[in-house]
Amino acid sequence: MNAHLESLSPAILWRHFRTLCNTPRPSGHEAALLAKLEQWAEERGLDHDRDAYGNLRICKPASPGFEQAPGVILQGHLDMVAQANANSSHDFTQDPIDTEIRDGWLKARHTTLGADNGIGVAAALAALEDEGIVHGPLEALFTLEEESSMGGALNLAEGWLEGKLLLNLDSEDRGQVYIGCAGGADVNVEAQLPQEPLAEDEVAMTLALTGLRGGHSGIDIHKGLGNANRLLVRVLRALDACGARLASYHGGTLRNALPREAFATIVLPRDEIDAARSRVAALEADIQAELSGIDDALSLSLKIADETPENALARQASRLLIAALHAAPCGVERMSVEVPDVVETSNNLGVVQLADGRFHLCALVRSLRDSATADIAERFRALFELIGAHTRVENGYPGWTPQPDSALLQRFCELHRTRLGCEPEVKVIHAGLECGILGGKYPHLEMISFGPLIRGAHSPDERVEIASVAEFYGLLKALITDLARSPV
Kindly list the catalytic residues.
79, 146
d(CA 369, CA 50): 32
Burial of 480 (0-12, 13-18, 19+ CB in 10 A): buried
**Whether the Cβ atoms of residue 183 and residue 367 lie closer than 8 Å to each other:** yes
**Whether the Cβ atoms of residue 122 and residue 77 lie closer than 8 Å to each other:** no
Other beta carbons less than 10 A from residue 224's beta carbon: 13
Residue 442 φ then ψ, to 5°: -130, 80
**Whether the Cβ atoms of residue 77 and residue 127 lie closer than 8 Å to each other:** no
Edge-first strand listing for the sheet containing 454-455: 99-102, 105-108, 463-465, 454-455
How does DSSP classify residue 7?
A: G
Instruction: Please work out, in degrees rounded to the nearest 5, the angle formed at the alpha carbon of residue 331 by the alpha carbons of 326 and 336.
Output: 140
165-168 and 72-77 as β-strands: parallel, antiparallel, unpaired?
parallel
Residue 427 φ then ψ, to 5°: -130, 160
Question: What number of residues does the chain have?
Answer: 488
CB contact set of 189 (below 8 Å; sequence gap of 6+): 359, 360, 361, 362, 363, 380, 384, 389, 390, 391, 392
